Amino acid sequence: MTQNPSSNPPELRPDLAPQLQVQETPRAGQPTLGMVSLGCPKALVDSERILTRLRAEGYGISPDYTGADAVIVNTCGFLDSAKAESLDAIGEALKENGKVIVTGCLGAEPDYIREHHPRILAVTGPHQYEQVLDAVHAAVPPDPNPFVDLLPATGVQLTPRHFSYLKISEGCNHRCKFCIIPDMRGRLVSRPAHAVLREAEKLVTAGVRELLVISQDTSAYGMDRKHDLNPWKGDEVRSHITDLTRELGRLGNPKDLWIRLHYVYPYPFVRELIPLMADPDTAVLPYLDIPFQHSHPDMLKRMARPAAGAKTLDEIAAWRATCPDITLRSTFIVGYPGETEAEFQHLLDWMDEAKLDRVGCFKYENVDGARSNALPDHVAEEVKQDRWERFMQKAQAISEAKLEAKVGQTMDVIIDDIDEDGIATCRTKADAPEIDGNLFIDEGTDGLKVGEIVTVEVDEAGEYDLWGKLG
């Protein structure tokens, strides 16, 4: 059996969206825009909305700079390394194309961007769609053809056709000391429940097989709306994550549709979601992406995390008692200012008990504007690296043991890709795109199609990936 190397190595940043995919060819003479989308899935959704508006005005879309009349760079400002990546992308776009419009999180710092790249045409902040459109109109006037430029019902989609991100809110009300997202994206603003459900229904009707629910804080959905009631299919639904998830799970047969929850903060009422995940008649996957960040209570207080007092191990045990098949994914920060060796060891011991299925890990770094920059006792870079390596070694061992236990099991997988050698790259219900592992099928794939959900028997396991054969 051919062991493909995982496309998700442990050093992968766990905040990245899949690579942008544009699945159309501009018509001759059509004004065309290139798009570079950096950062997280929430930014990718912003890119989709911008391009949907532009596509409706008659613009063609190019996946790169080739033949484009201008380029939009949707930036990330989450970490200083992400800022550097954004500046590099802007520089490359200026070099290759010359006409560049900048938007996204780093756009909240226009002077910083112009200091490095004074030739850019315009800068707008995150989710400032109208300002982006104004900048595009000024740089490349629209020239729509009403007989040709028809917008598909689902808008422009930048992910593969079989899965889509569903953004349910913007912003965040937390003030975690290491994070500047609230400063860039503002406070929590939830979409009405019926608007989310209507968008989800359209996507499912258009053939999307997996909806990935995202926001800055999915658990807080609807709090800003005081969990108001919204009309839906002759009844009413609350703007509350439990009610929204229940309704999403009813949009399709679980054999044909997957609903996956991301960025769920560990509030106590999260336990209300778990019975939905355990219900075999709902499309909600038994998968919970929950950013713990650390385990030691003193560390969580220094981070100003909202769940500093939660007894997370007790909660995890309760979730697993209700839904034994649940997959738990989380992200952690090592080397945060003030982190002692004892506190880091507490995290390793906690991992031994929690045995999370999937983890990502950041080495702490200062971000301009973050309150954590001013904390005392910053950790030396070599110590951060050592702790990151020890943490990932622990996580890898846990992952390897968990995957080995799946050998011999039969499970459903969704097909993401079939290469020229006939090897199918798939994901199980335990695997989100880009950030988790894969399952590979390297025999008998004739007749399979990307986006299908098929049944396989697992016959081999690696550190992060599985191999299987069609059942």
**In whole angstroms, what is the distance from residue 361 CA to residue 110 CA?**
30
Instruction: Name the percent of the chain in helix, strand, coil, to the closest 5.
Output: 35, 20, 45
Q: Phi first, then psi: what are they for 94, rounded to 5°?
A: -65, -40
Q: Would you call 257 helix, strand, or coil by DSSP?
A: coil
To the question of whether residue 76 is assigned a binding role by annotation, the answer is yes
| C-alpha distances out from residue 434 to 203, 212, 426, Å | 21, 12, 11
* Cβ(438)–Cβ(425) below 8 Å: yes
Query: What is the token pair recorded at 65?
Result: 């700079």
CA dihedral 277, 282, 285, 290 (to 10 degrees): -50
To the question of whether residue 40 is assigned a binding role by annotation, the answer is yes
DSSP state of 167: E
Query: What is the token pair recorded at 330?
Result: 């989380």
Burial state string for 193-205 with b = 16 or more CB within 10 A and e = fewer than 16:
bbebbebbbebbe
Query: What is the token pair recorded at 410?
Result: 């039969």
Query: What is the token pair recorded at 143?
Result: 């020239």
Query: What is the token pair recorded at 456?
Result: 């396989």
CA dihedral 120, 123, 126, 132 (to 10 degrees): -90
Q: At what angle do helices 341-354 and 381-404 cross, to 10 degrees?
A: 10
Contact residues for 177 (Cβ-Cβ < 8 A; gap 6+): 302, 303, 304, 370, 371, 372, 375
**In whole angstroms, what is the distance from residue 6 CA to residue 438 CA?**
7
Which candidate, 268, 351, 369, places its Cα nearest to that of 309? 268
**In whole angstroms, what is the distance from residue 449 CA to residue 189 CA?**
38
- The angle at the Cα of 225, spanning 235 to 275, to the nearest 5 degrees, equals 60
Residue type, 119: R
To the question of whether residue 361 is assigned a binding role by annotation, the answer is no
Q: What's the start-to-end Cα distance of the chain, in Å?
A: 17
Query: What is the token pair recorded at 83?
Result: 């800022």
Write out the binding residues for [4Fe-4S] cluster: 40, 76, 105, 172, 176, 179
Write out the binding residues: 40, 76, 105, 172, 176, 179
